[in-house]
Amino acid sequence: MPRIKNHGFTPLETIGKLAGNKMSLTGFTLAEVMIVVVMFSIIFAATFDVLLSGRRSFDASSIRYDIQTNAALGLNNMARELKNSASLYVDVDVGGDSIRFSVPVGYNQNGDIIWGADGETNHQVRYEVNGQNQLVRDRFDASNSIVNGTTRILANYVDDVDFDSQPNGLIMNITTSKELLDENLSSTITFRN
């Protein structure tokens, strides 16, 4: 019986049988190949969807961490400085969107507290949100002008900050947002002086 040699790679193999002048071929039919392609496409799509969902979840967690960290840093910086003030030296604006205050900077000969900011007498600190959604700290001198070089950014992604005066303290609320995620943090402080 003569054998037919197979030359090269092909999914169809020629079987070296000759049965009554008929050659027998084996391999995959078009329908079988299409079913396998569809199955692999479904598996690939499902795998891709799971990976994409994981990526979205990671991105959302990263953004949430970023805005929470920024808000907490800003709130902690304000609270640390405001605790040293006294209600007599704290001025919350009418809308509650900014605050000015003084802290002890020393004592006079009678032992009375001298009020100011950053070691300067008769100066004040102001916290507010600027036009770039940043919580900023400014220092004002006795003539009510911002002292050059004293503006510091405390937090980014800040939409709003609210101050609510209490008898011997203050409630601070900060709202931050980034890419459709937002966070609200609040802190209550009691003045030491």
Position 101, amino acid: F
CA-CA distance, 92 to 128, in Å (whole number)? 11
122 inside domain: yes
| b/e 3-15 (16+ beta carbons within 10 angstroms → b) | eeeeeeeeeeebe
180 inside domain: yes
User: Average pLDDT, whole number, for the chain?
Assistant: 86
The pLDDT, as a whole number, for residue 4 is 55
89 inside domain: yes
**Structural domain range at position 96:** 58-190
For 69-102, the pLDDT digits (tens) are: 888 998 999 999 999 998 889 999 888 889 999 9
9 inside domain: no
20 inside domain: no
Please answer whether residues 88 and 59 qualify as being in contact, where contact means their C-beta atoms are separated by less than 8 angstroms: no
What SS3 state is found at 133? coil
153 inside domain: yes
- The tokens describing 48, both together, are 């891709």
176 inside domain: yes
| b/e 101-114 (16+ beta carbons within 10 angstroms → b) | bbbebeeeeeeeee
Total domain count, the chain: 1
113 inside domain: yes
